[in-house]
Amino acid sequence: MENNAPGDMISAKPFRLVKFFSFTSLAVIIVTSLVLSLLISNYTKNVLLQRSEAYNLVLAENVSHQIFQQFVLPLALQNRQIAVEDPRQFKQLDKVVRSATHGMNVHSVTIFSKKENQISYSTISDLVGEKGLGQVEYERALNGENVSVLRLNGSLLNFLPGMGDITCQLRTFIPLRKEKPFSPTRDVMGVIEIVQDLTDDLEALIRLQAWIIFTSLTIMGGLFLALRFIVARADRIIEARTEERRKLEVKLNHSQRLASLGKMVASVAHEIKNPLGIIRSTAEILGKRVGKVAPENSHLAEIIVQETTRLDGIVREFLDFARPQQPRLKPLLINDVLARVTDFMAPEFGKRNIEIKRNFDPALPHIQGDFDQLYQACMNILVNAMQAMPNGGTIFITTGLAIDRKKVFLSIADTGTGMSEEMLAQIFLPFVTSKSRGTGLGLAIVKNIVDNHHGVISVVSRQGEGAEFIMEFQL
Ligand SMILES: Nc1ncnc2c1ncn2[C@@H]1O[C@H](COP(=O)(O)OP(=O)(O)OP(=O)(O)O)[C@@H](O)[C@H]1O
Ligand SMILES: [Mg+2]
């Protein structure tokens, strides 16, 4: 059951902030900038319209006043009928209108007669005499109302090729009245239509709208990229932390299991150790006696002694692993440790046709270490190397100062069988062995010793090409 825990952790992938953030924020940014630009340009359009409408009204009132004062009144005083179709009267009216609108932003001025919905005068000469052009606004103005209508054709799309021109006209209709005191009731004589061309303003407005959309999209886009970058980083950090936590949990699990296993192993090993000692000494005594009585069977007792010695070795290994001693650190030379181990193992190497090539750095500085523990670590590695070369070979032992001159390294390389990638990944774990009579504790003990010395151990190996173990210790 316990083994499932790390797997569960792996599947619980950290929340992908980036993806969620990317799509929602992009949508929010686009909608926000569009709404913002529409709000601003609508507001501006309304202000512009209100101003233009007020302007048109004042202008229309002024034109109406001027026409009455300078055209209608003089004719009335001379007792003449108003007949605009008369070219002289038309010219006079035209003069009045043009002087009243001179310099103003006016596209056209048109006067509709009261009867027959006919145009009696217009600054656009083609329209003069036309009938029925006055629409509902004309009717309302005849009833005394001031009316403004906006005719516009234009949006952002008009900037696209082939979409037609932008046009915008504000048309204001007001009644043309007689003035007091000549007409106390201010009778309506006709309708004046003043057209203001707002195309340029609308064009500027649409340009402003486009500009707002463009700038807000650019700014928001920049902001979005910056945020995305930050969020992506945060995501990576979260992911790294989760991964770290997962590893830690696996490690903790592993060491908890090892600790309980270690306790069990230690107590069993301890119980075995004493009877084993008794068996061995008894077998030795027995061997001597059997030797006297039946010399041909004395090798049987020897077998018991050999096997109990081997068992003793295994039990000691178990105990070493299960109850690692704290190193008693003293200044020492790695070269001395290696010299002692290789001297001790030299006869065995000789027997197995193994050659030792030492390349010790003579100027190697001392490190703080526990001689016995490092001796044992080197021995375990050398025994493995020896076992990996059943038909003999060479072991290269090298020591030296690391490039940064802050560490001492030692390397033990052999020309043995080497190992697979799979094996390589787990050789430092306890009970991992490829040998029929191995316990798989040798390298686990080496790792413990190196860890307790705050050192680092690494291994390079390829199947069939030998293996190299490198240890590094801080100065
Ligand atoms: N120099 C080497 N060449 C090839 N394989 C090696 C070498 N050193 C270690 N191994 C592999 O790593 C395994 C684990 O080694 P380790 O020393 O921990 O255990 P072991 O030698 O099998 O048993 P023991 O507890 O008796 O040492 C070995 O079984 C072997 O497969
Ligand atoms: Mg071993």
d(CA 224, CA 131): 61
CATH architecture of 326-474: 2-Layer Sandwich (3.30)
* DSSP code string of 318-368: HHHHHSPPPP--EEE-HHHHHHHHHHHHHHHHHHTTEEEEEE--TTPPPEE
A 10 A CB-CB count for 396 gives 17
> What is the per-residue pLDDT for 229?
86
d(CA 472, CA 426): 20
Protein residue closest via CA to atom 8 of ligand 1? 384
Q: How far is the CA of 253 from the centre of ligand 1 (A)?
A: 24
> What is the per-residue pLDDT for 5?
38
Bridging pattern class, strands 354-359 and 188-197: unpaired
> What is the per-residue pLDDT for 18?
64
Q: How far is the CA of 125 from the centre of ligand 2 (A)?
A: 115
d(CA 36, CA 205): 14
CATH of the domain spanning 17-212, picked from 3.30.450.20, 3.40.50.620, 3.40.50.150, 3.90.1150.10? 3.30.450.20
> What is the per-residue pLDDT for 193?
92
Q: Given ligand 1 and candidates 310, 318, 321, 384, which is best to mutate, with the most ligand atoms within 8 Å of its CB? A: 384
Q: How far is the CA of 413 from the centre of ligand 1 (A)?
A: 14
Ligand positioned closest to the Cα atom of 314: 1
Query: 433 in ligand 1 pocket by Cβ < 6 Å?
Result: yes
Nearest atom in ligand 1 to the alpha carbon of residue 437 is 26
Q: Are 23 and 210 in contact (CB under 8 A)?
A: no
Name the nearest CA neighbour of 374 among 334, 324, 408, 322.
334
Protein residue closest via CA to atom 4 of ligand 1? 418
d(CA 152, CA 202): 9
Query: 354 in ligand 1 pocket by Cβ < 6 Å?
Result: no
Q: Where in the chain is the domain with CATH 3.30.565.10?
A: 326-474
> What is the per-residue pLDDT for 11?
41
Query: 320 in ligand 1 pocket by Cβ < 6 Å?
Result: no
Q: How far is the CA of 258 from the centre of ligand 1 (A)?
A: 19
> What is the per-residue pLDDT for 19?
66
Cα–Cα distances in angstroms (integers) from residue 15 to residues 169, 234, 237, 337, 446, in the given order? 57, 11, 12, 52, 40
Protein residue closest via CA to atom 13 of ligand 1? 433
Structure tokens at 220: 């928001």
d(CA 82, CA 111): 13
Q: How far is the CA of 380 from the centre of ligand 2 (A)?
A: 6
Q: Given ligand 1 and candidates 435, 437, 448, which is best to mutate, with the most ligand atoms within 8 Å of its CB? A: 435
Ligand positioned closest to the Cα atom of 447: 1
pLDDT along the chain (475 residues), means of 10: 38 56 75 82 84 89 90 86 85 91 88 86 88 86 88 73 80 88 81 90 83 82 83 87 93 82 77 84 87 83 87 82 82 95 93 95 94 93 95 96 93 96 91 87 92 94 94 94
> What is the per-residue pLDDT for 461?
94
Q: Where in the chain is the domain with CATH 3.30.450.20?
A: 17-212
d(CA 311, CA 277): 10
Structure confidence by residue, pLDDT tens digits, 286-311: 888 888 888 888 888 888 888 888 88
Query: 385 in ligand 1 pocket by Cβ < 6 Å?
Result: yes
Q: How far is the CA of 359 from the centre of ligand 1 (A)?
A: 24
